[in-house]
Chain A
C-alpha cells in the first residue's frame, strides 16, 4: 500500500452497496496534513454516505479506509465502531444538526471531552481530588473552545435555544473537543447568510492553524468552497468525477456539466 507523504486519511476504491443500490463506486480520496479538502457534488451524489462510510456508521462493501493518527501507525478503519473512530481522532458534524438539545452549550462541548477523560462510576460517586481536577479541566477546556468559536457568552444556555448559526458553530466546538487530527464538516454553511458564511470560513482557517487539524468538508456554497479549499473532489452518482485545485476543478468541463452549470452562476 503506497503511503502518500503526510496523508492523514487515505481512501482507496471504496464502494458502498445498499442491497441493489450502489451509493458509492470506487471512490479514491486523500486528505494530507493541514489541508482543507472539499467534497462537492449535486444532491444524492453520495457525499454524506461517504462520510458515514469513513466514520463507521456504514461498513463499506469494498475498498480500504486508512487513517493516520498523530501517534501510532496507519490504521484500516473499515467498519470500525463510530466511537472508536472518534477516539482515534476523526470527529464530525452532521448535515442536520445533531446537538443535545436539553444540555447547555457548555455541556455539549463537554461531551466531546468524554473520550479523552476517564472518570468512571466510582469516580463519579466518590469525587476524589483526581476526579474533581479532571472535571474542572473538562469545564475549563470546553469553555475555552466556546471562546474560540465565539459562543462563550451563551455557555449556560440550552442548546435548543441557540440561533441556527450558533448551533452550527457549537457543533464544531464539540467536535474540536475530541482533539481530532481530522475534522469532518457536513455542510457547515447550510442555511447561513453571506456574512455568517464569511465568518465561518475565517473560523475554519483559524481552527486549522491553531489546532493543527486537517479538514474535510462537504459544502454547497461554491464561493466558500473555492476560496477556502486547498483541493476539491467532485462527486456525481457515487463516483468521483474530478479532483484538483479549485482552479483546475472549476475549469473541468465534466464538472461544469454535472454541477456548476453556466459559468456565470459560479
Chain B
C-alpha cells in the first residue's frame, strides 16, 4: 500500500516538475525571434516534447532519488555499499582471464578486420583512454582537480608539430622530448597551486588552460595562430613508405602499445607506496603531512605524471591528425576528459577505460544523437555526481597478504 502511495506521490511530483520545466523552457525552446525582419516563430511541438520528456525524466529522477535515499540509510546501518553484480561477475578470475585474453585478441586483430575509418575512431578512443588515465592520477588518486589538463595535451602536440615543422624531427625522436616537456610543465604549473584548496585549485588550473590556449591563438609568430600547423609527419618505421591505410594501422598499434604501458604504469602506481600517499593526500592533507609525507613532492609528482601522459598523447594526436590548431585545446576538452574520469570512477583504471569508450565511442556510433553529445555530457556529469559519485566502477583498495609470523 505504501508502495502505491509513494508511486502516486511521485507521479504528482513529476507532473508538477514537468509543468514547471515546460514553463521554464518555453521561451527558449518554443520561440525564435528575428529582430531584423521582425519575425517571431512559434514551435509549439517543442512544448509538447518538453512536457512529455520532463515528465518521464522527472519520474525516473524521483525513482532514483528514492533508491539513493534508501541506499544511504542502509549504509548508515552498516550494510550495503557493495559492488554491483556486474563488477563481482567481472572480478571472478575464471571470467576475467578469458575475457581479457579475448579482449586482447580483438584489440590486436581490429585494424586487420575493420576499415580504416573504424580504426581511426578506435585510435581516438584510445587516446582518450590514456588522457583519462593521466588525469586519473591527478584527480582520481591525488584529488587535485585540474581543469586545465588540456594545456599539457597542447604542449605535447605543439612540441611535435613545431619541432617537426622547423627542424624536421621525426615522431620517435620527439616522443621522449614531449614526455620530458610534459613533466616539466606539470611541475611548473603545479608549483603555484601547491597551497590552494579544491575549488581554487580548479579555477586556477582552468585559468592556466585558458591562458595557454589564448597565447597559442594570438602569438602568431610562435604557434601560427588560429590557422595552426599542418603537414605534420606521421610516425615512421625505419623509413618504410606507407600508404594511408598502413599509416593508420601502424598508428593504431603504436597507440595500443602506449595504452598497455599506461594501464600498466597506472595500475602499479595505484597500489604502491606513492599511490597510498596520494590517497592520503586526497583524504586529509593535514594528517597526511603530519604522518611524514611531503605533500609538495606528492602533489608535484601527481601533476607531472599526469602531464607527461597528456603531453605524450599530444604528440600522438598531432601525428595522427597531421594538423593541429588551438581550437582542439579548449576547456571543453578538459571537461570531457574530466567527465571520463568521473563517469568511469575516480581512481579506478578499468573504470576510466570504460568511461572513455562510452563517452567517445558511443557518440560515434549513435550518429543520430551526435548533436546532443555535449548536452548528454553535461547531464551525465550531474547525474553521476548525484546518484553514483564513485562512478561506474568503484576504485577498490588492494587486499594485502599478511605474513603473520613476521614480527
List the interface of chain A (C-beta within 8 A of B): 55, 57, 81-83, 86-87, 91-92, 94, 98-104, 106-107, 110-112, 114-117, 119-121, 123-125, 127, 134-141, 143-144, 155-156, 158, 161, 174-175, 178
Contact = CB atoms under 8 A, between A and B. Distances in A.
A221 to B, nearest CB: 23
Interface string B279-305: 110011011111111110000010001
Interface of chain B, main secondary structure: helix
A115 B293 CA distance: 6
A91 B291 contact: yes
A124 to B, nearest CB: 3
Interface of chain A, main secondary structure: helix
Given A114-B277, A124-B275, A178 B283 contact: no
Nearest to B266: A125
Nearest to A141: B406
Contacts of B294: 81, 83
A127 B265 CA distance: 11
Contacts of B273: 114, 117, 119, 123-124, 134-135, 138
Nearest to A88: B292
Interface residues on B, range: 35 or more
Contacts of A127: 268, 272
B403 interface: yes
A114 B295 CA distance: 12
Nearest to B397: A104
Nearest to B284: A98
A86 B287 contact: no
Contacts of A81: 289, 294
B45 interface: no
Contacts of A101: 283
A178 B290 CA distance: 10
Contacts of A55: 290
A114 B400 contact: no
Contacts of A178: 291-292
Give the one of A121, A123, A136, A174 with max B CB within 10 A. Answer: A121
B287 A99 contact: yes
A106 B294 CA distance: 21
Given A121-B269, A125-B265, A143-B404, A114 B286 contact: no
Contacts of A92: 290
B287 A144 contact: no
